[in-house]
Amino acid sequence: MVWTKDRPLNDTRRPDMDGTPLAQEVLAYLTTEGIELSEDLGEAETVLRDRLAAIGARALQMHLEKQKLGYEGCSRRCTCGESQRFVEYRPKTISTLLGEVTIRRAYYRCGSCKTSALPYDERIGLGDGQVSPGLAKASTLMGIQEPFAPASQMLYELTGRRVSARTIERLTQQVGALAEQEESSAAERIKTWNAPAAEVMPERLYVAVDGVRVHENDGYHEAKTATCYWETADGRREARYVVRFASAATFAALV
């Protein structure tokens, strides 16, 4: 490896730190796979994105295969007071931002109450779903911006990952339910003036409250809405919103 003419003589960084050798290997790999990159920028970047994601998915799986995911020893405490025994490592195929990976997680079962557990799934929030936390976050961010079917298509266009409209709907509703619980819990504290710590302290805060009639299956109902917004020191506008089918007293606490 030689120093390029645009690298200063007193630059002590390794000449391969910019990833050039790896990039050359990627191009060589594409050639061996019979893939020729077009001079069309949009087409070339899509091919590279998909191929690099596939390589990343394989690297991710190889990394996780070396880990004892969720293993807490031959036994762990069960909620019934007895012990859950380690049974085996159970596989699970998950869709990630890079592609599909298969992981193996420690599975425990209590001989007394028959409760089973997968500690790794609990710790990283996998649950029963087949979507990684990263892809779930991307899906819900799309799900709150667009109807679920267009959100599914837009997610594919941006990431190359396919997540069905039904899955995006389920994920968005799950996250929304958790957010609603947190907001409602904070509102209950507000009712007794036990206010949570302020996230920001703007010099001037604008609060706008309104209502809109929304048609539900049993007729029209008023959705109460509010926005609180302010400007940051560098002139950016920040805002928070709340919308509820709720009584005036309940909504006031949420505001």
141-189 tens-digit pLDDT: 999 999 999 999 999 999 999 999 999 999 999 999 998 898 889 888 8
Q: Which one-letter amino acid corresponds to residue 99?
A: G
Q: Where are the domains of the chain?
A: 68-174, 199-254
Structure tokens at 168: 């995006």
Distance CA 56, CA 98 (A): 6
Alpha carbon of 80 to those of 70, 77, 130, 209: distances in Å? 20, 8, 29, 48
Answer yes or no: is pLDDT of 234 > 80.
Answer: yes
Closest CA to 78 of 110, 106, 107: 110
Of 13-22, 36-45, 131-140, which range is least confident? 13-22
4-42 residues labelled b (16+ CB within 10 A) or e (exposed): eeeeeeeeeeeeeeeeeeeeeeeeeeeeeeeeeeeeeee
